[in-house]
Amino acid sequence: MDTAIKSAYFQNVVKGKVVSGTDKLPLPGVTVLIKGTTNAATTDIDGNFEIAAAPGTVLVFSSIGFAAQEFTVGSQTNISITLTEDVKNLEEVVVVGYGTKKKATLTGSVGEINGKDVAKSPAVNISNGLAGRISGVVASNRGGEPGYDDSSITIRGLGTTGNADVLVVVDGIPGQVGGLSRLSAQEIESITVLKDASAAIYGSRAANGVILVTTKKGKKGSKTTVNYSFDQGFSSPTRLPDMADAATYGTIQNEIAYYNRPTLGMNQIYSDSDIQQFRDGSDPLGHPNTDWAKAALKKTSLQSQHNLNIQGGSENTNYFFSLGKLSQEGLYKNGVANYDQFNVRTNIDTNIGKRLKVGVSLSGRKEDRQFPIQSAGNIFRAIYRAYPTVAAIYPNGLPSRGIEGSNPLIDASRTAGINNNPTYVFNGILRGSFDFGAGFSADGFFSTDVSQSTTKSFATPFTLYDYNRATGNYDPFLLGGGADQQGSLYQAQRNIEQTVANIKINFKRKFGEHSVDAFVAYEQSENKDSNFNATRLHFPTTALPELSQGGAAGTDARNGGSSLNFTRLSYISRIAYDYKEKYLLDLQARVDGSSIFPKGNQYGFFPSISGGYRISKENWFNTEGFINDLKVRASWGKLGNDAVGNFQYFNNYGFNNRNVIGGNLASGIDLIKLANPNITWEVATKTDIGINATFLKNFTFEAVYFMQDRTKLLQARNASLPGSTGIVNPFGSDPLVPSENIGKMENNGFETTLGYRHNGEFSWGVSGNFTYTQNKIQYIDEAPGVLDYQRQTGRQIGTYLLYQTAGIFRTQEQLDATPHVPGANLGDLIYQDTNGDGVINPDDRIMSKYSNLPRMVFGLNLDAAYKNFDISVLFAGQAQVSQYILTESGTTGNFYSTWADNRWSPSNPNGSYPKVSESSGSSISGGNFRNNFWLQDASFVRLKNVQVGFTLPKDITEKYGIANFRMYLSAFNLFTITDFKDFDPETNSENGQFYPQQKIVNFGFNVQF
């Protein structure tokens, strides 16, 4: 019998389902091809397929972004296929500025994060999930307060002395109001980072790099699916410092008194009996031993997330709808620090005929922040300073005065008042496109963004108590509130509006082996920002916290406000050419105009050029050898940074109330800032040289060397101008002299990524990335006569000017033989005589090698899947980074255990820390001579994220009409390896008084119908 006839005769209908190896979710749109034929089928929205195939037939399963997989048909009629992501798939499309490109033809430095990876992090703030995932991205989480826990993000380090904010583009809208951080991870399809001259397509706003966020849309020809996910998290501080207990602190107070008055002996404040009672807890009223952090903070706080997605599409209309809610509790016991968010999004696209497409995207969000009257910094200042020898709450339940009238248990609670800060954000986009044929098309969009943020802060008076040992009474003290300890109310509202309109003409066509993809576009935007505020004092009752109910005196009511608006206008173009996808060329140009700058300087030209050569496309190249794909590329371009204060080309004036005319106070006008008629934007010139390769079929490699020269940085000449001119600081600290485009910096470095992917029933992958970047100030205004080794010019931005320490004075002979500052004694730090003149003075300070922005960042991503189990792990870290931190300790506040337990003292002459003093901020070994003893190495390696998942077998879920059910455990900031003491090494606080970063343990599930 003929083989073809035999095969057709014995064909069976083979049914099955295709799922992703990453998250076990169904994969729609997968091509199922009978090998060697043109017979094929496609999976539906649930990943299901059916195809007629004879036993022995080989089925090939393929989809963009996934490794192709073959399956030989046997006697089975129902099969399950798991596809693994293919990191080397060059057909994959990547979002770039104003369009998309194939990975194979990219000539710029572009990094991408899949939305599924973003959603694996239990951190509710999107910016906190970026660290370690893409080379070149430096994301530093400086604190963990709910609603205020954004990471600072820089691309390839810091290249400016001015505003370093990255431009965020959401669904094509540059600088969309609302930004990145508060988007829901369940709404995100991908995040793309433009790191080099490829960002020049965004012109005067692109110098600091660009982040492109694409939200999810429906799938063509797919049935409706419903996804619900729930996460329950438990957060706690990554690290809190251990504080000295009451016995230790009592001993320290005795030592401080002894150093001040040595003739009176060692027990001037507390007797040995007092110290013992602090230690054994025998007198909790008179000799308490208070752990203020334990008293004020919970061990864990809760956070939860709910998200519902509906997605689908027909032949002509695709739709996506998302509804989400999240809630975060603060750390304070009985506190009012909470963040709640509600978000909704819908994306709809439809074809009207064969040529016209229209779409609409609508999203809304309510960010409801609630926090205490006192800032987080003030509350943690009180926690760390409060004496352990003072009770937080007396045994009878009355609150103590804490430290200087600040009791963090009360400050964090509703008793002291409450600050409500809801923010409403709306984003709307209307877009359309028309295909003219012959490669020509047009598209455009109109967007409007609105944000309204209101603040209502009502401070209420409250009573704290001091236990009087002599009388046995609890003496009351009325504190808090506003003036005269009466209620005070502050209300404010800020409104932000942005509209953006864009029209674009495209041409995309192939001419034999030549491909051209080009466009020209026009874009304009308008921004409005207004705010007003009002204050009312002396409320007779706290029962009516409304502006109309405050004091009646004229001085009890105050108000203020301001507004601004500015516009931008842009002409944009790009031409991308390639020959056989072997020779690649990309030209971009943008002309930007801005009302922020004066006439004559309102327009700037921002060009870029990039090219690539895919050596592996040459006929002589053996793609089946060691190297399978090889591309070298380079780029150059000019980009701008217009994030400066508005209207600096005018003289700025302000009202004052310092004039008395006829015995009455009259308002006057001050000139507060001189005009700069030549102000313009910063200019960044970026150059990249890179290589991309795939080798041994499963390895991917990328290496890039980058250079950036930043010129025209805005700086004031308030260092080189002498004060005698009278134009430096006549009114307050803000210079009268205008900012000028005089600064210069350079920023160079390299980044690399290496990945491996193994496909099969047990699939796994690993990818590591590394970035090194070093900036250098080429010009900054400095006072004449500054010593060479103290100049900022020629050094990294943000370094510290410090005395260098060389140990601790331990003997009188050593003290007498060594230059020292006036008043130095045994137990104080030894300062190096840098210039060798025999005197310790400010000339001996030198600049530190590193700043608190790391030169090195790195990440390691691992994932694996076997049958119904999957796991993903992300490590992130930084190196060559320093942080100065000196706590507020002495009789002014408690000591951290690292200092208290290791201090020099007459009984511990070998202590590794200097002796204690009245105030660390003004002591010889502390803030009075700012020195590198308190400069710590902030390098670390951290388990940033881990998730372990299990997908229920299909034979279980299908019984209940469930397409997919996956449950998982995840964690964020689970552990950290570092030499940094007391605090989280990502902090940039110099005194430790900040809301700590959070560690999160989370469980959740996802169900799909």
CA angle 516, 520, 523 (to 5 degrees): 150
- Give the pLDDT confidence of 947-965 residue by residue, as tens digits: 999 999 988 988 888 989 9
Answer yes or no: is 160 within a domain: yes
What is the pLDDT averaged over residues 289-311?
A: 96
What is the pLDDT averaged over residues 795-805?
A: 96
Closest CA to 943 of 852, 871, 996: 871
| Burial (CB count within 10 angstroms: exposed 0-12, middle 13-18, buried 19+), residue 979 | exposed
Predicted confidence band at 725 (pLDDT cuts at 50, 70, 90)? low
Out of 92-96, 607-611, 656-660, 853-857, least confident range: 656-660
Predicted confidence band at 732 (pLDDT cuts at 50, 70, 90)? low
What is the pLDDT averaged over residues 510-528?
A: 96
Sequence-distant (≥ 6) Cβ neighbours of residue 757 within 8 angstroms: 67, 84, 85, 86, 87, 88, 698, 700, 763, 764, 765
Q: In the prediction, which pLDDT does 706 show?
A: 97
CA gap 531, 544 in Å, rounded: 24
Residue 800 in this model has a pLDDT that exceeds 80 = yes
- Give the pLDDT confidence of 999-1008 residue by residue, as tens digits: 999 999 999 9
User: Which of 38, 58, 83 is a domain's end point?
Assistant: 83
| Two tokens, residue 237 | 């501080």
300 near 336, Cβ under 8 Å?
no
Closest CA to 447 of 215, 191, 170, 211: 170
The total domain count for the chain is 3
Predicted confidence band at 90 (pLDDT cuts at 50, 70, 90)? low
Give φ, ψ of 816 to 5 degrees: -70, -30
54 and 137 together in one domain? no
- Give the pLDDT confidence of 26-69 residue by residue, as tens digits: 888 888 988 888 888 888 877 889 998 888 889 998 887 777 88
- Which CATH number goes with the domain that contains 129? 2.170.130.10
122 and 205 together in one domain? yes
- Give the pLDDT confidence of 262-275 residue by residue, as tens digits: 999 999 999 999 99
| Two tokens, residue 194 | 């433009």
CA gap 621, 938 in Å, rounded: 47
CA gap 670, 505 in Å, rounded: 51
98 and 160 together in one domain? yes
State how far the alpha carbon of 687 is from the alpha carbons of 238, 608, 635, 959, in Å.
39, 10, 6, 58
Answer yes or no: is 673 within a domain: no
Answer yes or no: is 25 within a domain: yes
219 and 119 together in one domain? yes
Mean pLDDT of the chain: 92
Answer yes or no: is 681 within a domain: no
Q: Is 410 helix (H, G, I), strand (E, B) or coil?
A: helix
Out of 84-88, 290-294, 818-822, least confident range: 84-88
> What length is written for the chain?
1009
59 and 107 together in one domain? no
- Which CATH number goes with the domain that contains 44? 2.60.40.1120
User: Which of 83, 106, 130 is a domain's end point?
Assistant: 83
205 and 250 together in one domain? no
User: Which of 83, 103, 128 is a domain's end point?
Assistant: 83
- Give the pLDDT confidence of 350-408 residue by residue, as tens digits: 999 899 999 999 999 999 999 999 999 999 999 999 999 999 999 999 999 999 999 99
134 and 63 together in one domain? no
Predicted confidence band at 733 (pLDDT cuts at 50, 70, 90)? low
Q: In the prediction, which pLDDT does 74 show?
A: 84
Sequence-distant (≥ 6) Cβ neighbours of residue 986 within 8 angstroms: 140, 141, 142, 938, 940, 997
57 and 134 together in one domain? no
Percent above pLDDT 90 for the chain:
81
CA angle 97, 98, 101 (to 5 degrees): 70
Higher per-residue confidence, 647 vs 540:
540
Q: Do the strands 474-480 and 461-467 form a parallel or antiparallel pair, or are they unpaired?
A: antiparallel
Residue 661 CB neighbour total at 10 angstroms: 8
Give me the DSSP letters along 35-46.
Answer: TTSS-EEE--TT
Q: In the prediction, which pLDDT does 1 show?
A: 41
Answer yes or no: is 503 within a domain: no
C-alpha distance across the termini of the chain, in Å = 47
Predicted confidence band at 875 (pLDDT cuts at 50, 70, 90)? very high
Q: In the prediction, which pLDDT does 25 show?
A: 76
Q: In the prediction, which pLDDT does 83 show?
A: 85
Residue 552 CB neighbour total at 10 angstroms: 8
DSSP state of 143: -
Predicted confidence band at 255 (pLDDT cuts at 50, 70, 90)? very high
What is the pLDDT averaged over residues 104-110?
A: 94
CA gap 684, 640 in Å, rounded: 6
DSSP state of 85: B
Q: Which residue has the tokens 């002894």?
A: 258
128 and 221 together in one domain? yes
Answer yes or no: is 188 within a domain: yes
Question: In terms of residue numbers, what domain contains 56?
Answer: 12-83
Predicted confidence band at 311 (pLDDT cuts at 50, 70, 90)? very high
23 and 62 together in one domain? yes
Q: In the prediction, which pLDDT does 6 show?
A: 40
CA gap 674, 693 in Å, rounded: 54
Q: Is 669 helix (H, G, I), strand (E, B) or coil?
A: strand
Higher per-residue confidence, 91 vs 836:
836
146 and 228 together in one domain? yes
Answer yes or no: is 535 within a domain: no
Q: Is 516 helix (H, G, I), strand (E, B) or coil?
A: strand
972 near 1002, Cβ under 8 Å?
yes
Residues linked to residue 140 through DSSP beta bridges, in sequence order: 152
Predicted confidence band at 165 (pLDDT cuts at 50, 70, 90)? very high
Answer yes or no: is 131 within a domain: yes
Helix and strand numbers (H, E) in the chain are 10, 49
183 and 100 together in one domain? yes
Residue 726 in this model has a pLDDT that exceeds 80 = no
